Amino acid sequence: MLLFAAVGIITGTLSGCSLLPVEEEDLQPPLVQPVKETLNVIEAKRSTIAKQITGVATFVSDKTNYMYFKTSAGKLISIDVKLGDKVKAGDVVASTETSELETKIRMQEIAIEKVKISFMQEIAGKGADDPAVRLKILDMESAQIQLQALHTQVANSRLVALADGIVTFVDPIKPGEDVAAYKQLVTLSDPSQIKLVYTASSQNDLVGVEINMDVAVKIKDKMYGGKVVQTPMSVPPSDNKTVQDKNNKSLVIDVQGLPPEASIGTQADITVVTEKRDNVVVIPRAGLRSYMGRDYVQVLDGESRKEIDVEKGIVAATEVEIRKGISDGQKIIMNN
């Protein structure tokens, strides 16, 4: 029994030990290789760089006639032309209401006829120096002056072309609306005298353009030569704010050897080189960094980055000239 008791104790002890939790082994995190930074590197090179203005210009007439009524002419009856119409000198392009004027003219003609009859009756028995006859003569003159004034008003109720041209603008005014004095209703342009005009988004876009600069003009895949003949700095001031605002951001270009198909409204691609340098150090614009007035680049020096202050020159659309700080062949880290 003592033997069985000892065996029981030993067995119990061993069973108790088997119920204790097994300690977990310490787990070490696996080693992770650091991600190697991928750099976009471009070598500085020697090249030609040019700053230029490119865009789409339009041919317009060099001789334009802005048509308007000089007085408040009443209500509009009609505008008798539309965009693109060819107009001859003397053609009526717009007219205003004249019904009251026509009535007044007829009444005035009747008044003059009455004065004539009365005058003939007076002069029949009296001499030309008689005061009564003299009064009739003055009445006749006054009536004729009034009639002439009415005829002038009728003439002023019609807008008449003073020269041949093509209609390039028509005001959207509707019949029955009042016509204001000096409000532009129709624009006639001379198709035989045209110029190329480029209008930028702002005057700052035209900085550097000067009179007589060469312009490359492309019309329907053919190249033509041109010259700048007007810039915002050379245009004379205008009292018309709309015209002045347009002139402040426009270039006028004279094109040599225009093709016959070039006409008002024809468009052309233009390129004006304002600054150009050959054999200079050039890098992409994405390689130049700026901070608080400081211009610098990051170069790849072995396996590390190195910042170098630089002096920039011409800044073109996609490239920039570096005058000082780096030389060709150095590896520039792009700022992207």
Question: Model confidence over 261-301: pLDDT tens digits?
Answer: 788 889 999 999 999 999 999 999 999 999 999 999 999 98
pLDDT of residue 158: 84
Q: Mark 161-178 as b/e (b = at least 16 C-beta within 10 Å).
A: beebbbbbebbeeeeeee
Q: What is the pLDDT of residue 28?
A: 67
Length of the chain: 336
| φ/ψ of residue 273, rounded to 5 | -85, 115
Q: Which pLDDT does position 3 carry in this prediction?
A: 44
CA atoms within 13 A on the CB side of 333: 16
Model pLDDT, residue 34: 65
State residue 7's pLDDT score: 44
pLDDT of residue 58: 94
DSSP-assigned beta bridge partners for residue 230: 252
CA distance 249 to 199: 6
- Best CA proximity match to 214, nearest among 141, 273, 291: 273
Cα-based distances in Å from 15 to 1, 12, 37, 128, 157:
21, 5, 58, 162, 124
Residue by residue, pLDDT tens for the chain (336 residues) are 444 444 454 444 444 444 445 455 556 667 766 666 678 899 999 999 999 999 999 999 888 888 988 877 678 889 999 998 999 998 999 988 776 777 787 888 888 888 888 777 777 666 667 777 778 788 888 888 888 877 777 767 788 898 889 998 999 999 989 888 888 899 999 888 889 999 999 888 898 999 999 999 999 889 999 999 999 999 888 777 877 888 899 999 999 888 887 888 899 999 999 999 999 999 999 999 999 999 999 999 888 899 999 999 999 989 999 999 999 999 999 987
Q: What pLDDT score was predicted for residue 10?
A: 45
Give the per-residue pLDDT at 4.
Answer: 46
Amino acid in the structure at residue 35: V
Write down the mean pLDDT value for the chain.
84
Closest CA to 168 of 67, 278, 34: 67
Q: Angle CA(84)–CA(90)–CA(91) in degrees, nearest 5?
A: 40
pLDDT score, position 214: 95
